[in-house]
Amino acid sequence: MSRPKNNRIVYKPPYYSEFKPAGISLKSLDEIQLSLDEFEGIRLADLLGMSHEEAANEMGISRSTFSRLIVEARKKIASFFYQGKLLSVSGGNIHFRQNSIKCSDCGHMFTIDIRSKVTKCTECGSKNLISLAGNFGHGECCRIAYLDYNIKK
């Protein structure tokens, strides 16, 4: 029996969680699932250019685990590009550090600390807000985990 996976730290939820080739209907596409921790690995290593050691520390995992994670994520992204599949970002054992908030009225998106709660849009003052962390099933659990992680660090 394998041991359970530890939660990985993800900076914030993605603004967009589905990507597909242009001009092809969703129903005709095979789907590839990229986990939130794989998505974060790509951001840290390929977008920000962090070393595997730095990125692993940022996510709260070992360097070898990060290296395996990034190899798997890159395979999935290559399959998306070359085989024309739907790429969906979701799932994984993660906790967010930040939350992304979208105003349903004006469309403004902004980032807040995961420990914070916000009641009004910073742009238009609307109370009609969507928590993107909540869209991934995260919210209060991430607030608590964030505090625990920073106390242990």
User: pLDDT tens digit string along 27-83?
Assistant: 889 999 999 999 999 999 999 999 999 999 999 999 999 999 999 999 999 999 999
- Which among 35, 13, 40, 33 has a CA at the least distance from the CA of 139? 13
Q: Among 68, 94, 120, where does a domain finish?
A: 94
Structure tokens at 33: 């699932």
DSSP code string of 4-63:
PPPPEEESS--S--EE--TTS-GGGS-EEEEPHHHHHHHIIIIIS---HHHHHHHHTS-H
d(CA 86, CA 19): 6
- Which among 145, 124, 125, 123 has a CA at the least distance from the CA of 133? 145
Asked if residue 102 belongs to a domain, the reply is yes
Asked if residue 56 belongs to a domain, the reply is yes
Is 19 found in the same domain as 82? yes
d(CA 65, CA 68): 5
Is 105 found in the same domain as 44? no
- Please state, for a pLDDT cut of 70, what percent of the chain lies above it: 86
Q: Are the CB atoms for 96 and 138 separated by under 8 Å?
A: yes
Is 47 found in the same domain as 102? no
Domain, as residue range, for 100: 95-152
Q: Among 76, 94, 112, where does a domain finish?
A: 94
pLDDT beyond 70 at 85: yes
- Please state, for a pLDDT cut of 90, what percent of the chain lies above it: 63
pLDDT for position 143: 53
pLDDT for position 41: 97
pLDDT for position 146: 47
pLDDT tens digit sequence for 32-48 = 999 999 999 999 999 99
pLDDT, average across residues 122-148: 74
pLDDT band (50, 70, 90) for residue 5: low
pLDDT for position 91: 87
First to last CA, the chain: 29
pTM above 0.85, yes or no: no
Q: What CATH number is attached to the domain comprising 79? A: 1.10.10.10
Is 66 found in the same domain as 110? no
Identity of the residue numbered 119: T
pLDDT band (50, 70, 90) for residue 114: confident
Asked if residue 2 belongs to a domain, the reply is no
- In sequence order, the β-bridge partners of residue 88 are 18, 33
Asked if residue 32 belongs to a domain, the reply is yes
Asked if residue 41 belongs to a domain, the reply is yes
Is 99 found in the same domain as 53? no
